[in-house]
Amino acid sequence: MRSGEGRAPGRRAADPLSLSLPPVGGGNGASSDLPSPPRGEGPGERGSHPRTILVALALLLLAVPAAAADAERGRAIVVDRTKGLCLLCHSGPFPEQRAMGTLAPDLAGVGARLTLPEIRQRLADPAATNPDTVMPSYARTDGLVRVAGPLRGRPILTDQEIDDVAAFLATLK
């Protein structure tokens, strides 16, 4: 995430303004007074613009995880049969769903039965409350067997998605 920083720090410190200037093809703009070798590492002036974007992106990325959990997105994940697949086992207050599972507790009222952290733990590590559970961990990436190549090393749901699902379930009171 920091990859945009630390590159040519000297130049940045000397003239932070050059960071926000658009590239002017060889226009010898803000940094013309610098003794820096513009042609050395990549195209001199032009380098500052992508770096501006990188810095902006890095700041954005830092801001994104702070985004609040989105219950509506969470509901979509729960009913999505290609994603959460929760309704393979669970039923719940989803009138638009024609078939739902009967293997697991109905999700209606789960927000009254469990706290938000408890719900989150059920999703991330169901075996913590029941070592014999058939419910998969939606966060785990290790200890799994026969995972298809492209899916290896990836959890079923991202942290953000688990937050969204938990936020949604917490509303089911």
Shortest approach of ligand HEC to residue 111 CB, angstroms? Answer: 9
Shortest approach of ligand HEC to residue 93 CB, angstroms? Answer: 13
Q: Please, which residues have CB within 8 angstroms of residue 122's CB and are 6 or more apart in sequence?
A: 114, 129, 135
User: Using the rule CB under 6 A, is 86 a contact of ligand HEC?
Assistant: yes
Span from 28-36, 43-51, 127-135, 141-149 in contact with ligand HEC (CB under 6 A): 127-135
Distances, alpha carbon 80 to alpha carbons 3, 40, 73, in Å: 36, 52, 11
Identified binder of ligand HEC from the candidate list 11, 18, 75, 78, rule CB under 6 A? 78
User: Using the rule CB under 6 A, is 105 a contact of ligand HEC?
Assistant: yes
Chain-centroid distance, C-alpha 49: 26
Q: Please, which residues have CB within 8 angstroms of residue 48's CB and are 6 or more apart in sequence?
A: 18, 19, 21, 23, 31
User: Using the rule CB under 6 A, is 169 a contact of ligand HEC?
Assistant: yes
Answer yes or no: are the C-beta atoms of 69 and 167 closer than 8 Å. Answer: yes
Helix 116-124 and helix 159-170, axial crossing angle in degrees, nearest 10:
140
Identified binder of ligand HEC from the candidate list 30, 85, 116, 124, rule CB under 6 A? 85
53 φ/ψ angles, rounded to the nearest 5 degrees: -65, -45
User: Using the rule CB under 6 A, is 122 a contact of ligand HEC?
Assistant: yes
User: Using the rule CB under 6 A, is 155 a contact of ligand HEC?
Assistant: no
Where do contacts with ligand HEC occur on this chain (CB under 6 A)? 78, 84-86, 88-90, 103-105, 110, 113-114, 119, 122-123, 126, 129-130, 133-135, 138, 165, 169
